[in-house]
Structure 1
Amino acid sequence: MTQLSTLSAAQYLALADAGRNGWWRYSLGLLLIAVGWLIGGGYAYTVTMDAALFGSVNEFVAINASVLTLLVGVVAVTVVLHGRSWRTLVTPRSRLDWRRMFEGAAVWTALAAVCAVAEHLLYPGRYAWSLNLQAWLPFVVAALLLTPLQCAAEELVFRGYLLQALGRLLRHPAGLAVVSAAAFTLPHLFNPEIAAYGAVIMAANYFVMGLFLASVALRDGRLELAIGAHAGNNLLLALVINYEDSVYRTESVFAAGELDPVYSLVTLVLSALAFHLWVFSKRRDRHE
């Protein structure tokens, strides 16, 4: 990382100094967030599925409802246990930078779309047109409402609370990013893609994605870019390009019979590098 990036990381990690930071608070906080997600998330999923109020998107809503318990948990722990504003998980500023979120979403979605087009050209027939407009539109509404919240929940936990907690022990940004990425990978090991496409290669995909998002948060000194990139990625998968055995069982414009995990990993690495070059080269130019 450059000197400017290291300074941004230090400033972001220092946001935790505004609250109470005993080691037992972070240990208890992580435990409460995890237990709240396992119990509260399971309850939210079951109740939503049993109520069946959302028609064709009911399972999608139920999955997202379970993840949103993470958002409730991390905000409650930060405010009550640590005595600081939940915004300190995101930014040192007094308000969120929505433009930065949209920038992250736009850049990452564009890169992912380029990779998808390249895959179609390299492997003709891998993608098939599958748009059923009547079935797709309810998913558009549900995804636009819920997916950004779901991604924000994961970002606040893994790149916000956990990263700042680890910052009390580690100060090197690279080490923080690696540990955070490993933690991000663990819950994703229960996704159906693991059984369908292989644990090692899919775990590598999740790890690289977690490493990318952590590096973006640390390099930018705030979380909005990472939230946007994460949301753009998941919206693209949910609404535009889906595949068999995806954790998102949604209607999409295109469908792939299967995911190519090796192609996914290679293009994920290339896209992450391109994202850093595009977004942060502009910021460096502004500071020179």
Structure 2
Amino acid sequence: MHDNQPPVPHGPQPPPHGPQPYGAQYAPAPYPQGQYGMLPPKPPWFVPAPSGTRYDHLARNPLNAWWRQVVGTLVVATAFFGMALFVVLAGLVVASVLGMPTTLSEQQLFGDPVFGLAVTLLSIAGVLPLVYGTVALFQRRPPGTLSSVAGRIRWGWLARCAGVGVVAMILGQGALYLAYVVTGENTSELLGWKGWATFLPAFAVILVLVPFQAAAEEYIFRGWLLQAFGAYVRSPWPGIVLGSAGFAALHAYTDWGILDVFSFGVLMGWLAVRTGGLEAAIAMHVVNNTVAFSISAAAGELDKAMQQGAVPWQSLVGTAVQLSVFAVGVLWLARKRAINTVSP
């Protein structure tokens, strides 16, 4: 080899110009593996909302479309009433097999109030997984975003909110008792005791089922509805107000009871936005229902607790104190604990 000859290059070379052997133009090119000639990867099923999204806007992922919210809401409503019918019919079958009396009246379906309470709570609690499934199937976002901006239940935060709820409940019950005394009402109806044999079976059902029943209602009225409206409406208030109206319509209260339940729903919806999740609302709902049903169970009046109906105006005093203390306590604690209010 002469010194003035160019070196022979090594490695892959560009194809020479001019005529090529037959078929050579169809030979695979030396591209990196996976860059060409392969199907693109499938997009993930769950698509979250962008970082920094507020709780009521978490359904605003890139796949958001008007029909997803409409169809999803119809599915949730159908699931709610369908589950209630299924559980009640199943309860009637179980009661018949066990020889339990059934009254089938408007006020009471079952002769055993504890069994009736269990059926009522289960008819609502059973909707919870169906709501999660609707979020996953129709909105195609992580179901955990129905719980909070963190994509899950923040259990430590929920426990702290429950502690605030207990304090608020005690002060609210004290205010209610004081309102009864000042107005000369009979306070014997507030507390009663029929003995442990009456209380314990009902209390066991309350402890097991009320957390799921209360959570299911929050996931529907302060979760799904709030976020379905938030998918298109910037302000959270249409979702809060309409969700609270639906929540009040779900109950059979009249007169002052409607205002009582509606105000509860409005505050819980507002706190969901302000704290970035449903933990505060679930905690207060669980505490409230556990105490309310337990008081009725202790007095042996579970049947009256499930009938609802009219509520004395004095109850608004207790509710005002309870909700005010809870709201102030939760907001103070959220600020102290630096609770996230937008998605990471």
User: What TM-score do you get using the length of structure 1 for normalisation?
Assistant: 0.81
Q: Equivalent residue for 1:238?
A: 293
Q: Distance in 2 between matches of 1:162 and 1:273?
A: 24
The alignment of Structure 1 onto Structure 2 pairs a total of residues equal to 263
Q: Equivalent residue for 1:129?
A: 192
Q: Equivalent residue for 1:93?
A: 150
Q: Deviation at 1:36?
A: 1.9
Identity fraction in percent: 27
Q: Distance in 1 between matches of 2:80 and 2:336?
A: 42
Confirm or deny that 1:177 pairs with 2:243.
no
1:205–1:265 Cα contact (<8 Å) kept: yes
Q: Distance in 2 between matches of 1:18 and 1:266?
A: 42
2:275–2:334 Cα contact (<8 Å) kept: no
> Which residues of 2 match residues 1-288 of structure 1 at below 5 A?
10-18=53-61, 20-52=63-95, 57-124=114-181, 125-126=186-187, 127-188=190-251, 191=252, 193-194=253-254, 198=255, 201-240=256-295, 245-247=304-306, 260-285=311-336
Paired residue secondary structure (1:93): coil
Deviates more, 1:82-91 or 1:236-245: 236-245
Q: Distance in 1 between matches of 2:304 and 2:318?
A: 20
Q: Deviation at 1:286?
A: 5.3
Deviates more, 1:238-247 or 1:65-74: 238-247
CA distance 1:138–1:241, change in 2 (3 Å): closer
Deviations 1:90-120 (A, max 9, x none): 1122542122222222222322222222333
CA distance 1:49–1:108, change in 2 (3 Å): farther
CA distance 1:10–1:247, change in 2 (3 Å): farther
User: What TM-score do you get using the length of structure 2 for normalisation?
Assistant: 0.69
Q: Distance in 2 between matches of 1:120 and 1:275?
A: 19
Q: Distance in 1 between matches of 2:159 and 2:285?
A: 11
Segments ≥4 residues shifted beyond 4 Å = 53-56, 241-244
Query: Match of 2:64, as an amino acid?
Result: N
1:64–1:146 Cα contact (<8 Å) kept: yes
Deviations 1:22-53 (A, max 9, x none): 11111111111111221231121121233036
Deviates more, 1:275-284 or 1:115-124: 115-124
More helix by share: 1
Query: Match of 1:81, as an amino acid?
Result: F
Paired residue secondary structure (1:129): coil
Paired residue secondary structure (1:17): coil
Q: Where does the alignment leave 5 or more consecutive residues of structure 2 unmatched? A: 1-51, 101-111, 339-344
Q: Distance in 2 between matches of 1:161 and 1:49?
A: 30
Larger Cα-atom Rg: 2
1:48–1:62 Cα contact (<8 Å) kept: yes
1:162–1:180 Cα contact (<8 Å) kept: yes
Paired residue secondary structure (1:27): helix
Q: Distance in 1 between matches of 2:78 and 2:311?
A: 34
Q: Equivalent residue for 1:6?
A: none
CA distance 1:57–1:286, change in 2 (3 Å): closer
2:257–2:311 Cα contact (<8 Å) kept: no
CA distance 1:112–1:56, change in 2 (3 Å): same
